[in-house]
Amino acid sequence: DVVLTQTPSILSATIGQSVSISCRSSQSLLDSDGNTYLYWFLQRPGQSPQRLIYLVSNLGSGVPNRFSGSGSGTDFTLKISGVEAEDLGVYYCMQATHAPYTFGAGTKLELK
């Protein structure tokens, strides 16, 4: 199975600060169809996961543009340019290139 390693596991930030989360894969996520099926989700306390980013860098519908995704192959990054209070929660990366699809262990974003 593909292992996704997220760092850091806990991220403390102030409102307005820009932060980044890393997601490293144990193998390349580039599919034979040319797509890279790497997603980012936010799970707020008591809620279901919400898709933020799909195919590495595409912003989900209704997602604020302070969120951005980048990377290729095995290294990926989610950046939040100016954290807002509503961004607090746990962030997960997920790959859907290789079955079984797998998630990272999560990064908890909390207020400093």
Partner 1 sequence: EVQLVESGGSLVQPGGSLKLSCVASGFTFSNYWMDWVRQTPGKSLEWIGEINTDGSKTNYAPSIKDRFTISRDNAKSTLYLQMSNVKSDDTAIYYCEGMGFAYWGQGTLVTVSS
According to DSSP, residue 61 is labeled T
Residue 35 as a binder of partner 1 (CB under 8 A): the answer is no
Strands (E), the chain: 4-7, 10-13, 19-25, 38-43, 50-54, 58-59, 67-72, 75-80, 89-95, 102-103, 107-111
Q: How many residues bind partner 1 (CB under 8 A)?
A: 21
Q: 2, 17, 20, 49: which one contacts partner 1 (CB under 8 A)? A: 49
Piece of 15-23, 26-34, 53-61, 67-75 that binds partner 1 (CB under 8 A): 53-61
Piece of 20-28, 42-50, 69-77, 80-88 that binds partner 1 (CB under 8 A): 42-50
